[in-house]
Structure 1
Amino acid sequence: MNILRFVFSPILWILSVIYVIILNFKQYLYKNNILKTNKLPAKILCVGNITVGGTGKTSLVLFLSKVLQKKHKITILTRGYKRKSRNGYLIVSDGKNILTDVKDSGDEPYLLAEKLENVPVIVGADRYSAGKIALNKFNVGTLLLDDGYQHLQLSRNLDILLIDCLNPFGNGFCLPLGLLREPLESMARAGIIILTHCNLVEKTVVDSLVEKIKRYNNSAVIATCVHKPVNFIRFADGEKIATSYFSGREVSVLSSIGNPPSFEKTLVSLNAKINNRYNFTDHHWYRAEEIKNILSINEFVITTEKDSVKLENFKDGADKEILSHLFTLQIEIEIMENKEKCLEKIEKILET
């Protein structure tokens, strides 16, 4: 793979340059009102990133939803990447009931719907149209735009940018040569920048990253956060198990997420010993035979919450003994440095 990348890197570099030119031209069109930015009569907060792969957006959306719903009526708008349904929009949850299955909604929207009460979740590539549905059906005043940093079609009141300390900007190049969706200059649009997985790197790495960010955006609130393990859940019966349970034990990991190393490093921080890795492409839809084969040859298999919601359908008719080998790691985000500044900035925007 590295040899192929070396051989094709000149071509990828040219394609990256073309990509950036097209991206800059598109942003120019929006900035000069040649392309229309739609507005909605609501406060809109956007959570996103400038790299492909996972930075912890879903965990932050969960955190913000739980905090904000204490004072505000909110709805989550998300794309529903790799969902099976082809509807223009789909109401995954009305805040009280889940109205679709995981394949139609996509794994992340379904997880949000499953873990949140009184917060509707709507999927749709056109976030403006989905937002109008939210306002008409649920009479909310705040829309939380999940993975929308590049969605310039919809105006927002605040951009919250997530940057993963484990791999902040890849090799520094834009797609397809690198991981960047946009050049680093795009960080200037953010009002809040949150560094994720700070506990999995040295403090010097975090400090260096903060200094680099400030060269592009010196006005944003910069916060740090960790993804804190809460407990394990035995998949077969839902029993909660302490995070210390796998300390010193050999385990296998099963995931189809954008950033498998962060998940694995979290397990290692709990002193688990990883002996097998089953890493599928992001948002992979598992087949029953895949899961059966993996569980039948491993005593302990640990997966993510995002993967777990896609495995629920396999419970019916499955061998309970085999299912007892599967565990889900529950994780919550915890903002460490500048938490109050972040929440104060958000609250000030929502109350004006």
Structure 2
Amino acid sequence: MPIDEHYWRDVIRGEREGRTADLLRGALRGLSVPYGAAMTVRRKLFAHRWPRPRAAGVPVISVGNITVGGTGKTPLVGWIASHLAGLGRRPAILTRGYRAVDGVSDEAAVLRQATGVPVVVDPSRVRGAATAVAGGADVLVMDDGFQHLWLGRDLNLVTLDALCPFGYDAVVPRGLLREPLAALRDADAFILTRCDLVESAALRAIGERLAALGCDQPVLTSAMRPVAVESLDGRSEPLASLADRGVWAFCGLGHPEAFFRMVQPLVRRVLGREVFNDHHAYSEEDMRLLQRDAHRAGADILLTTGKDAVKLTPPAAGVPLRWLRIDVELGDDNAVLAGLIAGTLAGA
């Protein structure tokens, strides 16, 4: 029987106690060892150019991570694509369309909506790159590209979630790491996300850990900033409109707690919350139960994320449904990232 995603996360975080949880952690550790070894061998083979990564023929900027679940890289991909368009380039975004429903991926839909840039959905990044270039793209932004080694890249950016940067120091399924931490040495720069949700001491500790791993690449910091409240039919309201409202919040994200922590200071009160699995495909029954629970709690609105909203339809009646528009904010590191991109374009 499959393990519930949230139960699994509780187990690997050490929040579940008892003999069953201990046995499960031991079993997961046993499965992690061969997987981690295989991923190490794979990366070394590509490093020795066997097999040889394919060239796209145009500059490729990869944005990826080393952990499963959300690190907040989707807004960053959107920022880079919009920045490139602002430079007069013709960018396209490559994404594999993870857990697409009826051919529609939540990340792809969010990126199209936020940037207006072409988004090519294809599990093969090499094939997707060829499609994008044939369509006129002169620079590619590869979403979730750190482990997709078949396509060569000119700038290799890795995002680290400041709330859980190193995946509990274990490869899946015992931890959240997609591959051993030594892979981070292949990055050209790191971008820490959700830095507004941790103390400065935690950020320093991340930098020290990267240095201990032999990583001396630039480390940029970023924050996710809510900017507006949106309805599913395109109407926008200021954030201040939440101040006197009680909300029922829900999401299907890899790191749901980050969303709830962002919502808390914006509203009068969070009357309830519901967590679904990452990339959840919402059913009519899901929405009926959310409407029921929100109504019983006396909520003024149901509030969710942009990634969830693209999979929903406006309710015909009941508690109004809204989503929180979020932008990435790099502060002084805006110029640093822009410089990395400029150097990549000049050297490609």
Q: Normalising by structure 1, what TM-score?
A: 0.88
CA contact (8 A) 2:247 2:267 kept: no
TM-aligned CA deviation for residue 198 of structure 1: 0.7
Aligned residues of 2:40 and 2:180 also touching (Cα < 8 A): no
Matched, 1:333 2:334: no
Find 2:226's aligned residue among 208, 220, 229: 229
SS of 1:348's partner is helix
What secondary structure, in the 3-state scheme, does the structure 2 residue paired with 1:28 have?
helix
Q: Which residue of 1 aligns with 2:29?
A: 13
| Partner of residue 210, structure 1 | 207
Alpha-carbon offset, residue 68 of structure 1: 1.0
Q: Aligned partners of 1:177 and 1:45: how far apart in 2? A: 30
Equivalence for 1:220: 217
Do structure 1's residue 350 and structure 2's residue 345 form an aligned pair? yes
* SS across alignment from 2:326: strand
Distance 1:342 1:217 in 2: 22
Q: What residue in structure 1 maps to residue 95 of structure 2?
A: 78
Corresponding residue of 1:187: 184
Partner of 1:126: 124
- Structure 1 unaligned segments of length 5 or more: list them: 85-102
Amino acid at match of 2:251: S
Corresponding residue of 1:32: 48
> d(CA) in 1 for partners of 2:67 and 2:187?
14
Counterpart residue type for residue 52 of structure 1: V
**60, 75, 89: which one pairs with 1:44?**
60
Which 5+ residue runs of structure 2 have no aligned equivalent? 1-6, 8-15
Alignment match, 2:174: 177
Is 1:289 matched up with 2:306?
no
Deviation at 1:248, TM superposition (A): 5.7
Q: What is the aligned length? A: 325
Q: Which aligned pairs between 1:231-246 and structure 2 lie closer than 5 A?
A: 231-235=228-232, 237-246=233-242
- Structure 1 vs Structure 2 CA RMSD: 1.7
Instruction: Provide closer, same or farther for how the CA distance between residues 217 and 65 of structure 1 changes in structure 2, counting only shifts above 3 A.
Output: farther
The answer as to whether partners of 1:301 and 1:327 remain within 8 angstroms in 2 is: yes
Is 1:55 the counterpart of 2:51? The answer is no
Cα distance in 1 for residues equivalent to 2:44 and 2:158? 21
Residue deviations 1:134-177 (CA, integer Å, cap 9, x gap)? 11122x22110000100011110111111111111232111110
TM-score normalised by structure 2 residue count: 0.89
Q: Which moved more, 1:284-293 or 1:42-51?
A: 284-293
Structure 2 residue matching 1:54: 3-state secondary structure: coil
1:267 to 2:263 alignment: yes
For residues 53-109 of structure 1, the C-alpha deviation after alignment (integer angstroms, 9 at most, x for no partner) is 10111100111111111221111000100114xxxxxxxxxxxxxxxxxx3121110
Q: Is the 8 A contact 1:223 1:336 kept in 2?
A: no
Contact persistence 1:295–1:326 (CA under 8 A): no
Instruction: Judge conservation of contact 2:264–2:270 (CA < 8 Å) in 1.
Output: yes
Measure how far apart 1:133 and its partner are. Answer: 1.1
Q: How far is 1:111 from its partner?
A: 1.4
Specify the alignment match of 1:93 in structure 2. none
